[in-house]
Amino acid sequence: MAASAPRLRFAPSPTGYLHVGGARTALFNWLYARKFGGKMLLRIEDTDKARSTDESTRAIFEGLAWLGLAWDEDVVHQGANLDRHRTDAYRLLQDDSAYRCFCTQAELAERRAAAEAHKEAFTYDRRCDRLGAEEIARRVADGLPFTIRFRVPEGTTGWSDLVHDTITFPNKDIEDFIILRTDGTPIYNLAVVSDDIAAAITLVMRGDDHISNTPKQIMLYTALGAALPEFAHLPMIHGMDGKKLSKRHGATAVGDYQHLGILPGAMLNFLALLGWAPGNDIEVMTVAQMVERFDTAGLQKKAAIFDAKKLEWMNGQHLQLLPTDELVARVTPAFVAAGYTTAMELEGRRDWLLTLLDLLKVRARTVDDIVAQAAPYFLDSIAYTPDAVAKQWKDRTSTIASLQGIRDALAEVPAWEAEANEAALRALAERMGLGDKAGKLFQPLRVALTGESASPGIFDVLAILGRERSLSRLDAALAFTRAPRNA
Ligand code: GLU
C-alpha cells in the first residue's frame, strides 16, 4: 500500500496572489490525494527570482489555509534545489543525452530574425552538436560560456492523459531545448522534472496550458532513467464571455472572495465544479462528499466558466448548511464591524442571536447579506426603502388606519409572543373586514418594522424585535406617514 500510495503536488509560481485557477488545481490535487490515500505536496516554484516575491508566497499559504487545503510534508522551495538541478543537467551531458551549446544569445537572435525574414519558423540547427571533442575541450578550456541543450531523440512522444486521453507530439516539432543556462541556472522544465523525480511524484495534475511542456518533460524523465508519473491536464477557466479569466472579469484572487464574506466550504464547492462533473446533477457538496465522489473520470476537457453569480448562489446554499452556532462565529465580527453591537453584548443574548440567524440565513447568500438584513434588529431607527414605501404605504389614509389599528391591538396583547400577536392581528384583520387578505395588514407592518417589503415571517419579526421596539417602530412609522411632506 505505502509503495503505491499516490503522490501529487501543487506547484504554484509565487508571482502574484493565489488565483482561483491555482486554487482549483490545488483542490483537485488535494481531493485526489485524500480520496486515494495519498499525499499532496506543496512546491513553491520560485526560480524566477525577478518575478517571485515572499509576499506572494505568503498569499499562497494564506489562501490555502483559508480554504483548508493542507499539504503534506515540508514545503519545497524550488530555488533551494538548484544544485540538484545542475547535477541532473550535467548527468545528461555526461551520458550524451545533452550537449554544450556555445551559441550566444545575440547569434541566436540574429538567426531567428533571418529565419523570420524568410517566413520560416526558427529552430536550433544543432550546430554545436556537430563540434568535435577537441574543439569543445578547447572552448571549455578558454572559458567560453555555454548552455546545456537536451538532444531531442527521433520519434514521437506521447502519454495517456487522464483528462485528454492519448496525446502525441512528433519529436521533430521540438527543438533541442536548453536545460541549463550559461549562469548555471536551470530552465523551468528541467527544474520541474528534477523536483518531481526527487519527490517521487506519481501524478502530475495541472492546468492544460502546460500540455506543450509535457513532451519535453517526458523526454527528461526517460533520459534521467526515472519512472514516468501519470499526467492529468485540467481545463482552463474562462469568464462568462468565454475569454481566459482575468482581472477584467472581476475578482480573481482567492483572498478577495474571503474578504467578500464567501465561506471557504462554498468556495471549495464552487471551485470543484470548475472542470469536474461529479455526475447525477450533483452540485452542492460538503468537503467530505467531494472527497468521496472525486474521480478523474469526471474531469472535463472543455474550459470551465467562472460565474460569480453561481458562487454567490453556492454560498447561500452553504450558509443554510452551516450549523447556526458556527455561523455565529462568522457574523459576530461582521456585526461588530458594522457598528451594530459588541461581541460581549451578543454573547449576553446568544439565544436571541441564534433565533435571528435562523431567520435571516434562509434569505441570505453572503455574510454581508445577513449583516444588511440584520440592521433593523440592532439599530434604534431604520430607513424606509423608497420602493417599499411607494408600494406598501401607497394610500396614506388606509396606511395610517392600519398602522394605528395594529399599534392599538398589539399594545393590548398581554404576553409578547408569536401566537398571541398573531391572534390579535388576525382578529383585527377580521374586524377591518379583510377576510383572508390579512396580508394587506401585514405588508404595511413589515415596512414599519424593517423598512423593507421582504423579511422573515412577520410574527417572527415582532417576536425578535420585542414589544418595546416593535411599538416604537409603529410610532415612528405613524409619525412618518402622518408628516405632511410624506402625504
Ligand atoms: N509553476 C507552474 C504554474 O504555476 C506549475 C507547473 C506544474 O504544475 O508542473 O503554472
The residues that are catalytic are 247
**Atom nearest to 205 CA in ligand 1:** 8
| Mutation test residue for ligand 1: of 8, 13, 32, 75, the one with most atoms within 8 Å of CB | 13
pLDDT of residue 2: 44
Residue 486 is predicted with a pLDDT of 61
Q: Whose CA is nearest to atom 5 of ligand 1?
A: 11
Tens of pLDDT, residues 288-311: 999 999 999 999 999 999 999 999
Please check whether residue 26 is in contact with residue 34, taking contact to mean a CB–CB distance below 8 angstroms.
no
The pTM of the full predicted model, rounded to 2 decimals, is 0.86
- Whole-Å CA distances, 210 to 13, 22, 339, 344, 470: 13, 13, 48, 52, 62
Is 69 touching ligand 1 by the criterion CB < 6 Å? no
| Domain 93-186: homologous superfamily in CATH | Glutamyl-tRNA Synthetase; Domain 3 (3.90.800.10)
Q: Which residues pair with 167 in a beta bridge?
A: 159
What is residue 447's DSSP assignment? H
Q: In what order do the strands lie in the sheet with 98-101?
A: 98-101, 147-150, 178-180
Expressed in angstroms and rounded, the spacing between residue 133 Cα and the centre of ligand 1 is 37
Distance 288 CA to ligand 1 centre (A): 27
CATH fit for domain 7-78+189-238, picks 3.40.50.300, 3.90.1150.10, 3.50.50.60, 3.40.50.620: 3.40.50.620
Is the beta carbon of 12 within 6 A of some atom in ligand 1? Answer: yes
Q: Is 210 in the pocket of ligand 1 (CB under 6 A)?
A: yes
* CB of residue 11 inside a 6 A radius of ligand 1: yes
Which residues pair with residue 161 across a beta bridge?
Answer: 165
Question: Which ligand 1 atom is the nearest neighbour of the CA of 217?
Answer: 9
| CATH no. of 386-486 | 1.10.10.350
- Which cell is 384 given? 424606509
Q: What pLDDT score was predicted for residue 1?
A: 41
Residue 259's pLDDT is 85
Q: Specify the CATH architecture of the domain 247-320.
A: Orthogonal Bundle (1.10)
182 close to 209: Cβ distance less than 8 angstroms? no
- Helices 20-35, 54-67: axis angle to 10 degrees equals 50
Going by alpha carbons, the residue nearest to atom 10 of ligand 1 is: 12
Say how many Å lie between the CA of residue 263 and the centre of ligand 1. Answer: 27
C-alpha cell read off for 459: 410574527
Q: What pLDDT does 435 receive?
A: 79
Ligand 1 pocket, residue 192 CB under 6 Å: yes
Domain borders along the chain are 7-78+189-238, 93-186, 247-320, 322-378, 386-486
Low-confidence ranges of the chain (pLDDT < 50): 1-2
- Please work out whether the CB of residue 157 comes within 6 Å of at least one atom of ligand 1: no
Closest C-alpha to ligand 1, atom 6:
11
SS3 17: coil
Give the residue, out of 7, 43, 45, with the most ligand 1 atoms within 8 A of its beta carbon, to mutate for a pocket test: 45
